[in-house]
Structure 1
Amino acid sequence: MEFGKFRLLIWVISTMCLIKCSIQFQPIDNYLLDCGSTTNSSIRDRVFLADTSDYHFLSNPEQESVSASNSQPISSIYGSSLYRTARIVNKTSNYTFSINQHGRHFIRLYFFPFPLNAGTYNLSTARFSVSAHGFTLLRNFQPDSTPVVKEYSLNITSDELVLTFTPSPNSFAFLNALEVISHPDELIPITAKAVELPRNHHNLMTQALQTVFRVNMGNQTVLPDNDTLWRHWYPDGTFMKYNNLVQFVSNITAVNYTTGDPAFDIAPLSVYGTATKLNTQYNPSALLNNTWSFNVAPGFSYLVRFHFCDIIERPPSQLMLNIYLNSMSVAKDLNLGEEMPNVWGAPFYLDAVTKLNGNGILNVSIGTSLAFGSYPESILNGLEILKISDSNGILEDGATGVNSSTSRSNSKILVIIVSACGAVFVLVLLGCMFFVINRRNRRKRKSSNEEYFTTNGTKENDENTLFSRSKMGYRFPLGAVIEATDRFSESLVIGIGGFGKVYKGILSDGTIVAVKRGAPQSHQGVSEFQTEIEMLSQFRHRHLVSLIGYCDEKNELIIIYEYMENGTLKNHLYGSDLPKLNWKQRLEIAIGSARGLHYLHTSSQLAIIHRDVKSANILLDENMMAKVADFGLSKIGPDLDKTHVSTAVKGSFGYLDPEYMTRQQLTEKSDVYSFGVVMFEILCGRPVIDPSRPRGMVSLVEWVNEWRKRGELEKVFDPFLVGKMKMESVRKYVEIGEKCLAENGVDRPTMGDVLWNLECALQLEGSEVKSPRVESDSGVGVSSTGFNEGSVGDFVGVSMSRVFSEMVKGEEGEMR
């Protein structure tokens, strides 16, 4: 009787776990489309809407749809009805979805080239590319003859997701169904450590990922119905290298989710409740490995997630594991008892990143360890392998992807045979013809360059060009820009400003660039376009965004810059889901921006005044180094015998120098005022103008001044920073920020003074600032950071303009 009660209790606990698992996650964004269908489809309590409905997700709803005959057998775990219709795309078309919750989303694409009874299409010959949010999900893709689901995870940071289908030349695209579903952000880690030396951390927040394998150990399938995120887990038996060494076990009731671990969404109960373990009954003391082998595309990095849950009853001793990816160690003597907070049956997962080269074989091994008297056994419950987008934002290429592995292998064999047979002939032929071909190619290149570009990049004999042959910078033909941006695809838009949209582009040599295209209705026109090109052509500095080229062909005004991986400072301070910057990071960004502006003000005989300094014009590269951008409003400063330049007021509201606004007198101190606003924007983590706030708090500057007068400036600090800054550093920072915001320009410091004090603030925070050593006015060597806390006060009020002017010259060796 007691045993019956115990079994009933176990059944109740298990049922409650299953119920909790089934209701754990409800996606905010949940788009399910049955493409090409005229009616909605219900698949296991999930309703897929017909994309011909009134929801208008597709940019070209007049595109054709096709369907399979009712007699056509289709077998698929995802529901055969989804594979009986398809949307045909003959030209570039977009599916557009409103995003209600920024963050990670699944994109699932369903493909099956079913035979048609009649018509002009053969789906098996389709070849096309798919892109979304600046990433190429599929390129030159040709679906296999069986139903397949391609699954991706993208971090969506905009209010719209545009999924673009682009047919290859002389071909078409098709799609059977698709899903766009928000999923918990914790499903994908922000960073993960590489197994190769040095063990660098990979930033995954800005990367797209593709699910390559999702495997459930214990050799059991987990269908999407039994996963809160509708994922499919394949059995591991087909991937095992040595089946005779393992045992498949199942113990669902042992899984313990009571520790607060978010594992319900990380992996379902049916994954953690099954496992593949090493069979140690023959030789318990042997150090053996369980190994699974996977074919993956070489040349990519992969996020590999190991799922563990100790569901096996054993003697009371530690279970320790050695984990390997190919020959590289992921973890040595991993103590599951410590990782699972000493709770038997608690789920645990481990992430690692590895780069695959060579033959594209990824071996995953879980080995036994006898360290500290541990029990000689290995166990694994689940495994996920996700491909990480490469530096060009590409995830799968039809020429190198997994789908073409067989044909690629056959091609390699054929190439080897042909090469071996004809090697001597080819070498002799090349030796005889090399000189002639080389001279001919040089003549062709010279002719081509003379036709399209002069030696400084300007098109020759083009009367429409805006720049003389003396101007720097490379003039790109419009065709090259169109190709780089996939015909200005909306999916590649990374920003929108007063001049127009900014696109992520890839040049023919693989260089990733930012392409700013002037909009016809833009208030900023030819003069601003010319100004920015001319300014950026003259100056190269590590804290100024570099110009790569421009295009002024066929009424297009296009500027091409270096691509800045981490976007704008503004987006890292507020208005996005990006991780918060700590105080040291903010100081370093302020210092980098100040260096760029100081260089503009002092690098030539006449100062260059930026005139539009704001957080949106400070960009961050992959290393979070700040670079000043957008020089369309820049102005050459006053002559040496004048104090200012009289000019119409231009700039951004909230950042404008009040003296410049009232008198229309522009000086470099106008940039200093704007930079002061940015400094408090950095400190407070809020917009400069925020109409949603109560009266008195709308303007950041007025709000800061009010609390400063009360002597309670800490009231305006970004709550994220409170308690995480050294007050000596903050006081130095606030002191120079207040001086920047002085009403009269003459009372404001120079950018050199600002830079000096910011480096003092960073020094006080506890970071060393590396700067060139220069000579002081007295001839004594002075380092910009060569002081301690006790000597900081000695420098207050001392102008460092001359010192930093010399530093700028010293940095010229580091300029691009």
Structure 2
Amino acid sequence: MNPNLIPLIIYLHLLSSFLTLSPPSYAAPLALNCGSKDGGNDADNRKWESDSKYLVAGGKSVSSTALTQDPSLSSDVPYMTTRIFTGETSYKFDVNSTSRYILRLHFYPSDYPNFNVSNSYSVVTTNSITLLKNFSAFITAEALSQAYLIKEFSLAAFNSDSITVTFKPADKSFAFVNGIELITEPELFDDQAGLVGVAENSGTIDGVSSNMQNMFRLNVGGQYIPPTNDSGGLMRSWYDDTPYIFGAGTISHIANVTIDYQELPEATAPAEVYRTARSQGPDPNINKQSNVTWLFPVDANFTYLVRFHFCEYQIDKINQRVFEIYLNNETAFATADIIAWTGGKGIPTRKDYAIYVGDKSGDEELWVTLHTNIDLKPEFYDILLNGLEVFKISDSKSNLAGKNPVLSEMMQKQLIANREAYDPNAIQIKHVVGGAMGGAATIGVAMVLLFVIRRRKRVSGSDSGVTSWLPVYGNLTSKSTMSGKSQCGSNLSSDAVCNCRYFSLVEIKSATNNFEEGNVIGVGGFGKVYKGIIDGNMKVAIKRSNPSSEQGVNEFVTEIEMLSKLRHRHLVSLIGFCEEGNEMVLVYDYMGKGTLREHLYKGNKITLSWKQRLDILVGAAKGLHYLHTGAKYTIIHRDVKTTNILCDDNWVAKVSDFGLSKTGPNLNQNHVSTVVKGSFGYLDPEYFRRQQLTEKSDVYSFGVVLFEVLCARPALNPNLPKEQVSLADFALQSARRGTLEEMVDPHLKGMIKPDSFKKFTDCSLRCLADHGMERPSMGDVLWTLEFVLKQETKGEEMRNEKSGSSGGGTVEVPIQSSDMIAMHMNTLNLDDDDDEYDYDSDDDGNAFSQIVDPKGR
């Protein structure tokens, strides 16, 4: 052999080996805009390509374009075009046989030409794994009140050089998909995740070889992190954990710390996850008696891998913070000590635990609970969590598919009520839905109802034969009895009728002296509010709706249904109602002190002290926090303002006026798409721009209220110079200029401690952040207000004891609102009699509605 050829032979051999080992897959993540000829770029300028070249025998598929675009769509790409499958069709992707992959499927169940999306049911498989079965994107999106859906799967290595994703429509149906992503996933799972609920060391889950579906991915204590800000190029979304928190008593905080991943792959979670966290609060006595729980709806008969993300950045020694981890009341780990795991601050770690969720009644829930470990007597009785992920693991039949969601009871009632309003034969449908409860027919009937209602044309009231001007209920058939109890025989929902007292029109006229003008205490777009007397000596407020006001009618429909279900000390209570002839009247508790606005400016009756104002704000915050987290469903008030915060004779604040309120968002969504309503000056700018409503819209409005209370001026004042017309804008400008003190109500000058002022205004400014994800939760706002009130109360007590001494009574609290450990340190120097400032919502109160609004909307 020619010696000169030896180097060339060696080079060719090495090149051949390299080509053999190299994966035949693409170098970058694959993103397909299905049904599009040219692909396109999404709102983040990410490139999506056409799906055509990946189709296998695409003769049974057609491309189509949505007829309508929902305003909540994050981008035209990939949702406005779709690939529709009339028969079994597959995509084939070349991959590395030894790698895991993330597969995401995007669905937009909109209207498409010649295809009724409510009839789409499909089976989706990849190689031998069933991802979705009998899947209806339409039913799922309607049940979750979402415009579009994303299903994400983490697939183990197939030992194959290709992945095939197959869409198969059900009989006489069709399947569709709008977008597909396929991304190489680094090895992020262990082969020995402990199985909770079985004997110790007797069960583990092999995460390396498991196929999974991501159910939830949360940035605990932080805000939404979009895919473009994810680590490792995995394009994951990290959501705010607030909607999943069960109960109150937590604070979130942000750390300015460098994250040192050390041996942990950076793709595990972005640094933003580890820089934010949630803990319990500064009071160790409360923390020892309570816990922090997140509640997730899941599919039964599956095992779930729960991943906890931890990063300590406040303490640096072991046994300073030790807590217990529970899954569905089973101990996952009893002595969690982040410093013991990582060895120092700013070093993240993650822990995986698995649990099986069976099919017993009520078992389709996953409870994740953290509780401070009392037995080890740590220095600080508290917990800490930075991030949380929940993965569903495929069963023994390689199945990941769950059932289509069943519509909630509230949504079913609303559908039936809407249907009854426009179809005299709707009572038949009501019986069908009732008989189908618990069976598969429920989904089908509900789907038909949703589809019909979505496309219905409003029937003229003159054709319905109903004499009442109410669009939903019609005339009630039951009348008041001497006991004041309803006979529950009306077309009104059973909850509303049985939980409220029914008044006859004669009783209402007697209570108001035939609606005498001298008894009017408020006027609004809905009509007038009268002061009345019932049962001899009981003062009430009576709201009489104006039949010519369609807005008032819609508000009544919303209020009476909601008020029959909610009870809380800081929500105004509904006593009863009257619907007779052309009258619709609601009767509420009388709030002797009137609205908060009355006591702030413009002929205010009483000048409130700073402590009184804080007391009222804390009560209002408790009411709103209960609506967001404590009720069975998340409720967004949508019209928070000082005229909707009322005070009773004892100055107990109560939130009122739920005519514009909305339920939602549900657990698997982060907003509700709806027409913008509310009061100018208080409107969330993000909600106004995008028509996407979240509980953070209430937080913005409450931020305006906070400044209204501090400055004693209205939210809008057109008589002021242009830059001062909007209180919210003027407050933000003043904060940038460092002149916030100049805005304070002159009656409060010198009455607010500097530390309290800074903490109060910092919280208020965060509420006014332009983007909802940058605002605190109402629970965080409540905690801050309680803390400020506590400091002002103690300062006032000490000033009274040392009257005349300069600076006496000041309790220094040199901390930021997020510095939990510093708050612990201060707590050690505070008295223990802090019961009136605990974080538990008061559940022994009543319901709500606007009673006095001198100016209307």
Query: Could you state the TM-score of these two structures normalised by the residue count of structure 1?
Result: 0.44
Where relative contact order (Cα < 8 A, 6+ residues apart) is larger, the structure is 2
Query: Could you state the TM-score of these two structures normalised by the residue count of structure 2?
Result: 0.42
